[in-house]
Amino acid sequence: MKIVQIGVGGFGKNHARILSQLGALSAICDADPAKAKEFGERYSVNHYSSVGALLEREQFDGAFVCTPTSTHFEVARTLLEKKKNVFVEKPMTYLSREGEDLLEIARKNKVILTSGYIERFNPAVSLVKEYVKTKRYGELIMLEFHRENRMPLHIKDVGIIYDTAVHDIDTAMWLFDDVPEVVFARSGRLKHDHEDFATIMLGFKENRIAIISSNWITPIRVRKFNAVCTDAIFSSDFITQEVKIETDNGTEIPRKNVEEPLLLEIKNFIAASEGKEEIRVRPEHAVNTTRIAEAALLSSQKGTPIYLELK
């Protein structure tokens, strides 16, 4: 597999490192020529400062797009039209309409399209997902997420809902294995150009609920979630990957290895490109997440719940 890395900023440099370790990195592209050169030289691959030049000169099977959200649609569309398998960082697109367009091109060209909903590869989420699926602790009723951080100064194009809360929107749908019927949100802005704190309530069938609380005010990094099942309560930390289970019989902390979710995510994209595995984040799921982010912003502006008909 020959994979190119587009965007080697704060996050994309991690993809480049892992792709190089896996022997799959074939070229680097970044609009900033100095960054393109630095990472091209670091990993001994060709480097480019535009997607056009990359496509003209390189033969490759797939691409990771790790550029700012506002550029995802144009970059991904160009690659899909050239029949490349494409991984786009989250959120897949800013507008759900753009996501639907990408989905259509990917279907027509029979290539893989996915997005960076990395928590699906977090071993803590996988463990809870397994318990929910097997109903070992009964039915999942409620989810609660906390994602807090100091404000990331370089993110100019979107606020906390599109940048941060989308992870938890996706994880809620993944754990419930369902889409919400209603979205209610409140958000506000203290220091950022867009909203920098938000609480979103997602209402699923049979009164199942996910509460997503995100802010760029807390000076430390918090990434936690709780899951309430009929027979147990799970408390988990996305960072330490620990899962604590409390039941009537006491507290249990199942043993598990800490693994790098990004490595698992990249391996899934490569295996899916080779036809060996299903892609875990299907593009229609990524479009749904963008739709819910749109609904959360609208709900917050209008002060009313937004009812959705998602598939």
Ligand X SMILES: NC(=O)c1ccc[n+]([C@@H]2O[C@H](COP(=O)([O-])OP(=O)(O)OC[C@H]3O[C@@H](n4cnc5c(N)ncnc54)[C@H](O)[C@@H]3O)[C@@H](O)[C@H]2O)c1
List residues binding ligand X (CB under 6 A). 6-12, 29-32, 35, 51, 66-69, 71, 75, 89-90, 116, 118, 154, 163
DSSP per residue, 126-184? HHHHHHHHHTTT--EEEEEEEEE-S--TT--S--HIIIIIHHHHHHHHHHHTS--SEEE
Q: How far is the CB of 185 from ligand X (least distance, A)?
A: 19
- CB of 31 or CB of 182, closer to ligand X: 31
Burial, 182: exposed, middle or buried (Cβ in 10 Å; 0-12, 13-18, 19+)?
A: middle
- CB of 117 or CB of 204, closer to ligand X: 117
- Taking CB atoms, the residue at the shortest distance from ligand X is 9
Q: How far is the CB of 189 from ligand X (least distance, A)?
A: 19
Residue 22 carries which DSSP code? T
Q: How far is the CB of 178 from ligand X (least distance, A)?
A: 23
- CB of 10 or CB of 188, closer to ligand X: 10
Please give the distance of CA 108 from its chain centroid, rounded to a whole number.
24
- CB of 159 or CB of 306, closer to ligand X: 159
Q: How far is the CB of 130 from ligand X (least distance, A)?
A: 22
Cα within 13 Å of Cα(235), Cβ side: 5
Rounded to whole angstroms, what are the CA distances from 108 to 98, 101, 102, 225, 248? Answer: 16, 11, 10, 38, 53
- CB of 91 or CB of 180, closer to ligand X: 91
Angle between helices 283-302 and 96-109 (to 10 degrees): 170
Q: How far is the CB of 277 from ligand X (least distance, A)?
A: 19
Q: How far is the CB of 248 from ligand X (least distance, A)?
A: 36
Q: How far is the CB of 91 from ligand X (least distance, A)?
A: 7
Q: How far is the CB of 90 from ligand X (least distance, A)?
A: 5
CA distance 247 to 137: 9
What six digits make up the tokens of 67? 């550029």
Query: Any idea of the CA torsion for 174, 294, 87, 116, to the nearest 10 degrees?
Result: -50
- CB of 147 or CB of 208, closer to ligand X: 147
CA distance 191 to 159: 11
- CB of 61 or CB of 163, closer to ligand X: 163
Helix (H) or strand (E) holding 251: strand 250-252
- CB of 26 or CB of 67, closer to ligand X: 67
Find the largest Cα–Cα distance for the chain.
63
Q: In this structure, is the dihedral angle defined by the CA atoms of residues 290, 295, 296 and 297, taken in order, positive or negative?
A: positive
